[in-house]
Amino acid sequence: MNAAAIYEVGGVLLVSITSDITDSDIIELQEMLSNRIAQSETRGVVVDISALEIVDTFVGRVLAQLTAIARLLDAETYVVGMRPAVAMTLVELGMYLPDNHTALTLDHALEKMRNAGLTDGLPRGA
């Protein structure tokens, strides 16, 4: 799969999704990311969707699931770079992604995560 890449940046996992990602790519990404969260003991995940021109009900559901899976692994997920047209379309689809934190840019997300103490990884709660 080359439709998404996972990097460790500033104590968090950064997931960058490319514009032509397919349904099976994104399912594969979900599995890869879950494993990386557990292995790296990260507490913060940033998913950059700025390349996505559309987020339909399938991708929206996977984003919501990613957040839920990460939370079970004690990590919080920030979705960054959502285009205004995507936000408007998602609301029209009735998909509000209530459990996803969002930030307009990666910098904003990192700042929010630093403030929340999510950028240092384990030991948790120390």
**What is the binding site for another protein (CB under 8 A)?**
19-24, 53-58, 60-61, 83-86, 88-89, 92-95
Residue 119 CB, nearest distance to another protein (Å)? 32
Residue 58 CB, nearest distance to another protein (Å)? 6
Closest CB to another protein among residues 20, 107: 20
Query: Rounded CA gap, 69 and 41, in Å?
Result: 14
Residue 21 CB, nearest distance to another protein (Å)? 7
Cβ-proximal residues to 92 (8 Å cutoff; 6+ apart), any chain: none
Cβ-proximal residues to 6 (8 Å cutoff; 6+ apart), any chain: 13, 14, 15, 29, 32, 33, 36
